[in-house]
Structure 1
């Protein structure tokens, strides 16, 4: 069952998320997709996509990674499949046929959601709940809308699978300053942000580890046919 969807490319934020997806593809056979590490954040991603070798129209791209929950319905570790992404009142849709096919291969384990894309880290639980309620969004990330807007414009088929790494009941550390202008993470501000809020940092680390393990498992399920643990 490897690469049953004829996916050409997987895009996943660089760092731990990229490594988790690569681990999930190990042991697969047949035609495996190319995995590309993308920068974190809207502006760095757009610059990267504009400068990168453009995928041919009718390519099939799967975007993977982790996200934050804006609703009590989606706790840490939940697998979510995007229907669309909103940003500042604009909306971009994922490909419906591709999304339906993915949904059929992760039965009873995945939720269809509406996503908000943010140009900064949404770290406050109160703000998460407010955004979820006012925008009718379920989860938040920092790349989805940009990727969809870019690929939809050139006729590339896109679907998006992510795993929830932080809930909307607790704050996470404010790590906005740890993201460089090129979308990479700066270790020193990252460490300082964690140290300033140790309880929130512990929660974020624990949630991220859970989400990354599930991200690895769902990648393995999609491309090797193994069941989720």
Structure 2
């Protein structure tokens, strides 16, 4: 199996993946940090040179990694999941099946609970536990993120195989701070705005930070394990 490029949300997720791959001997895929949110990510991908993810005559393979939030009780913090598909406003995009199965086969020994899930792509952070559970039940989605559908929409139909590997960092039983307003139009985070929202909901913020740290550690390990198998 070959992975040409790994796309990962900029910031702490990108740094976790870099830490993981720094512990792999030999050649590793190119790692590209991408912005959060549909509009900034679409703009970024449109401007991304093809040579960043395509080499030679073989079908390019792009792996998207990062954290996600759970919409069901079955998907707990620290769980590793592989996407089957992503939905956004009643639209559906499918991950490359063969590439996804290759990744599942490479990881199943180290991560026996690894499973295939359906993801919801959201324009905002889903912060209410009741809304998470409602979306999970009504849409049949297992997890949520802010990049999945956009990436598939861009690459599908262009001859690029895309798979998505995520780590759950937020469960569906608790509220988290609404940090949507702390996301800049370019997809980056405003540290001061983020801190103010955390101060307004300290318990929820502590839970979010704890889940994120746990998820980032698993993300570091799972990307290392996967690339070491290449």
- TM-score class normalised by the smaller sequence: over 0.9
The answer on 1:11 being equivalent to 2:2 is: no
- What is the Cα deviation at residue 52 of structure 1? 1.4
**C-alpha displacement of 1:183:** 0.2
For residues 100 and 86 of structure 2, what CA distance do their matches in structure 1 show?
13
Q: Conserved in 2, the CA contact under 8 Å of 1:27 and 1:224?
A: no
Query: What's 1:92 paired with?
Result: 93
Q: Which runs of 5+ in 1 are unaligned?
A: none
Establish whether residue 28 from structure 1 lines up as the match of residue 24 from structure 2: yes
Q: Structure 1: how far apart are the matches of 2:190 and 2:128?
A: 21
Q: Please say if residues 23 and 216 of structure 1, whose CA atoms lie closer than 8 Å, have aligned partners that are also in contact.
A: yes
Task: Give the distance between the partners of 1:20 and 1:27, measured in 2 at CA.
Answer: 11
User: Could you say which residue in structure 1 is the equivalent of 2:179?
Assistant: 175
Alpha-carbon distance in 1 for matches of 2:33, 2:144: 19
Cα distance in 2, alignment partners of residues 86 and 147 from structure 1:
12
State the alpha-carbon separation in 2 of the partners of residues 65 and 109 from structure 1: 18
CA RMSD, aligned part only?
Answer: 1.3
Q: How does 1:1-229 map to 2 (within 5 A)?
A: 5-54=1-50, 55-56=53-54, 58-107=59-108, 108-225=112-229
| Partner SS state of residue 31, structure 2 | strand
List alignment gaps of at least 5 residues for structure 2. none
The TM-score, its normalising length taken from structure 2, stands at 0.94
Deviation at 1:19, TM superposition (A): 0.4
The 2-side partners of 1:89 and 1:58 are apart by 29
- Give the C-alpha shift of residue 210 in structure 1: 0.4
Q: CA deviation at 1:106?
A: 1.6
Counterpart CA distance in 1 for 2:24 and 2:77 is: 27
Shift of 1:17: 0.2
Deviations 1:77-128 (A, max 9, x none): 0001000000011100000000001111221131110000001111111100
Q: Tell me the distance in 2 between the aligned counterparts of 1:26 and 1:48.
A: 25
Alpha-carbon distance in structure 2 between the residues aligned to 1:203 and 1:195: 13
**TM-score normalized by structure 1?**
0.94
Distance 1:48 1:58 in 2: 22
Specify the SS of the correspondent of 2:189. Answer: coil
Deviation at 1:167, TM superposition (A): 0.3
| Partner Cα separation in structure 2 for residue 77 and residue 213 of structure 1 | 9
Q: Is 100-109 or 171-180 further displaced after alignment?
A: 100-109
Secondary structure of 2:66's counterpart equals: strand
